[in-house]
Structure 1
Amino acid sequence: MTLLTQTSEDSPFFNPSKFFSEGPTWEILNLTIQVYAVVAILLGIVLILLFNFVLKVHFRKIINRHKLPPNTYNGIKFFLRIFSVTLTIWLILGILQIEGSFLWIIIGIFTTALTFASMKTINNFVAGIWIAINRPYIVGDYVKIGKTIGIVKNISTTYTQLIHNDATISYLPNLECLSSTILNYTWSLSLIQRQIYDLEKNLEKIIQIPEVNEKNIEENTKIQLVGQIKADIEEQKLILKEIEIFEEELEKADKDGERVKHDFSDYAQKGKIVNYVFNLELPKDFDGNEGKLTSICAKWSKEFNFRPQWDLVDITSHFVYQFTILTPDPLDIVYYLDDFVTDIYMSIYQV
C-alpha cells in the first residue's frame, strides 16, 4: 500500500513562498527584488505602526480616566516601542524566508556593525531599561542628576528629559544619568512615615541605654541626641500632617465642584510632595535677618501651598541659611524659586 503525500508546493491552499518567489521582480544593481515581498513588508510595517498608535491612544484614555501617574504612560510607550521593533524584525525575516544559516550570518554582521557604530546608543538603551525597572525617579519628580536640576519631563529609551528653573529643557543620556549621583527631592507619604518610624526606633534605643554602661556616650551627648531626634520626629510629623490636610481639602473641593486656590500641572502626583532644600549666604545679622526671612516665607506660602522654612546651619564669613520649600507641584519651583530668592536678597540688602 502506497501513501501519497502532498508537498507544500502542491498544496491547493495559499502558499506564501510560491507567491513571493513567482511574483514580479525589480532588477536594481544586479539584485533581484521581489515586488510582492517588499509590498508585504511595507504593509506589515504600516499595520504595526497603526496598531502601536491605537494601543497608545487606548492606554492614554485609561490613564486619564483613572488619573494614574504620568510615568505609567511613559513606561507603556517604552515597552510598545520594543514590541514594535521586535515584531517588525520578525515580519521581515518571515516574509523574506531567510534560512537558518543565512539568518545567523546576518545577525552576526548586524550585531557587529551595530556594536561599533552605536555603542553609546546601546549603552543608553540598557541604562534606560535599568531606570525603568529600578525607578530612581519617575516623570514628575524634581531631581538633581549630577549638577543638573529640574523636573523629569520624559524618560525615553535613550535619554531623560528635564525642565529647568528657567523653563529650558535638556536631554541627558541615560548612561550619564546612571553614572551620576541622583538626588530625588520628591517624597512620598510612605517615605515620610518610614522615616518617622526609624527615628522613633532610634530614640527608643538611645533612651534605653543604662546610665552605668554609658562609657562611650556622655550624659550631655545623650541629651543632645534625644532632643535632636525628637525635633526631627516632630518636624516630619508636621510635614505629614500638612500634606494629609492639604490633600483632604483638595479632594473635598474636587468632589464639591469648588474651585481650588491653585491649578496643578500634570507633574503633581497624588500622595507625593517636593521637599527642595538649598542654602544661601546672608550678612551676619541674625536678629535683622530673622524678621525679614519669616515675613518673606509667610508671603510666599500661597505660591508654594506650604510655608517655606529656614534655619541657620553654618557661620563662616557670612551666615549660611538653609531654606526648605514644600510644594505638591514641582512646576511651582520652576515658576517661583528664582523670584523667591530675589525677594530674599532684595529684602535683606534693602535694594
Structure 2
Amino acid sequence: MDVARPGTPPTSAERPGLPRWLPGAAAAAAAALLAWGVHAVVPAIPLLTAAVALGIVAGQLPAARGALTGVLAPGLSLAAKRLMRVGIVLLGLKLSFIDIASLGWVSIATTVAIVLVTFAGTFWLGRLFGLPGHQPLLIATGFSICGASAIGAMSGVVRSKDEEAATPVALVTLCGTLAIGVLPLLWHPLGLDALQFGHWVGASVHDVGQVVATAQIAGQAALAVAIVVKLTRVVMLAPMVAMVGVVEHRRAQRELRASAGAVSAVEPPTDGRDVTTDAAAKRPPIVPLFVVGFLAAALLRTFVPLPEPVLDAADTVQTALLAMALFGLGAAVRLRTLVGTGWRALLVGLISWVLIAALSFGAVQIS
C-alpha cells in the first residue's frame, strides 16, 4: 500500500469527495472560455477552431505534458467523449428540415452525393496510404461531414482512443483554417456570384464556424445559403454514424460468437466470470443513443416553434461543450509525431480537401 509522503498534498484522486475528472474538465472549461475570448477579439477565428488550436498548443508544451497525461487526463477524456456527444445532440437544434427542403431537390441531392463520394474517396485513400487503425474512417468522416465534431462522434462509435483521433482532428482543423483564407481568394477568379460562393463554401468547408467565417465576406444572403447547405451535410452525420454503428455491432457479434466457441473448448474461468457476458457488455449499440438524440432534436426544431431564448441558450451550451471536447482532442495531438510519421495522413487530408472543393464547385455549376 502506497503512503503519501509527509507534507505532500493529496492528488485529485486521493482527496475525498473530489471526482478524478474535475481538474481536467475545469481545464477544458477554462480553455473554452479563452477560445471565446480569442474569437471575440478576432471574429475571423471561429471559436471551435480556436479551442482545437489551444489544445494542440498545450499538447506541445513540455511543462504541460505531464499534467495532460496525468491529473488532467480523466477530465479531458470525459470532455472529448461524453461532452462531445451531448454537444452533438444539441447541434440538432440548429437543423430545420424545412430550411433544408427549401434548397430544392437538385441542391440536396448534389450535397448528399458530395458527402458520400468524399467519404468513400477519402476512406479509400487512407487505406491506400496505409494509415493505421481507424484513421481512414475518422479522416473521411471529418472531411466529408462536419469537421472535428464529426470525428468525435464517429470515434465514440468505433471506440477509438483519444490519441487515434488526434491526427484527424489536427488535419481537419488545418485544412478548414486554410479554407478561410484560400476560398475567398478564388471567389472572383472562378466567376462565382455571391450566392454561388455561399453554396460552394457550405458544401466544402468542414466546421460550421469555419463556414461562417468564410462565407460572411460575401454578405448575409451568401452566409444564409452557406449555413443551410452546411447543415444539410450535418444531417448526414446521423445516417453515416448509424451505418458504421451497425457494422461495428455485427463485428462485435461475430467476435462474441467466436469467443463463445473458444470458451467452450477450454476450461471456464475460475473466478466465476461469464466471458460471453463480458463480451456482450462491450458490444456497441446498433444505433448510438446520441445519434437518436441528434435526430430527435432536429425534429423538435422542425415541428415545434421553440422560443428564441431557448434556442440561444441551447446554442451557447452546445458551443461551450464542443469547445471543451475539441480542446481535449487537440491536447492529444503531438506535432513531432505528426511531422515525423504523419506525412501520409497529411497527404490524404490535403487530397480530400481538394476533392471536396472540386466536387462542390461542380455542384454549384449545376444547381
TM-score (norm 2): 0.24
Larger strand fraction of residues? 1
Between the two structures, name the one with larger relative contact order (CA 8 Å, sep ≥ 6): 2
- Which structure is larger by alpha-carbon Rg, 1 or 2? 1
Choose between structure 1 and 2: higher helix proportion.
Answer: 2
TM-score normalised to the size of structure 1?
0.25
